Structure 1
Amino acid sequence: MTDVKPKQLLHLVFGGELDDVTGVSFSDLAQLDIVGVFPDYESARVAWKAKAQATVDNAHVRYFIVHLHKLLEPDAAKA
């Protein structure tokens, strides 16, 4: 019997200071905080939430979750 690993659904968590809170243009791309790549949405959400809560006092800082698996396999997202 072989162990079947669940399919990795990679997610990237990153953030930084925005030029304007109404958009998604960063003030300084060199200062982006790359939190990491996570194997599933739930673990990415936990990391995102921790970073978002840690920067709650700075209204210009935002963190995002990017669904890398949708970029890597765009046809799979349509199915």
Structure 2
Amino acid sequence: MSKAKKAEPKQQLLHLVVGGELEKGEDIIFKDLDSVDLVGLYPNYAAAHAVWKQKAQLTVDNAEMRYFVVHLHRLLNPDEDGE
């Protein structure tokens, strides 16, 4: 009888979605850090991008409001490759 191999856990590529009103369109300087929208933490880029797109579409009428996807996995493990 052969033993089934355990599947290795898939690597998490953590992404953070964050947004808020910026002081100027060219620079990423938030007007008020207390009102920055920390949307959430996601296990991959696809999930983060879907939420980013939804939040960006909800605020399309506010030219100063911007949302971003932050690649946390690159900050946590800068030597590793990943999406």
Among 19, 26, 40, the residue aligned to 2:44? 40
- Counterparts in 2 of 1:1-79, with a 5 A limit? 1=4, 2-77=6-81
How big is the alpha-carbon RMSD for the aligned residues of Structure 1 and Structure 2?
Answer: 1.3
Gaps of 5+ in 1: none
Aligned residue pairs, count? 78
Structure 2 spans left out of the alignment, 5+ residues: none
Residue identity over aligned pairs, in percent, reads 52
Deviation at 1:3, TM superposition (A): 2.6
Structure 1 residue 20: deviation in Å?
A: 0.7
Equivalent residue of 1:76, what SS?
coil
- Write the distance in 1 (CA, Å) between the matches of 2:22 and 2:76: 26
Displaced runs of 4 or more, over 3 A: none
Structure 1 position 6, deviation (Å): 1.0
Say which one has the larger Rg. Answer: 2
Secondary structure of 1:57's counterpart equals coil
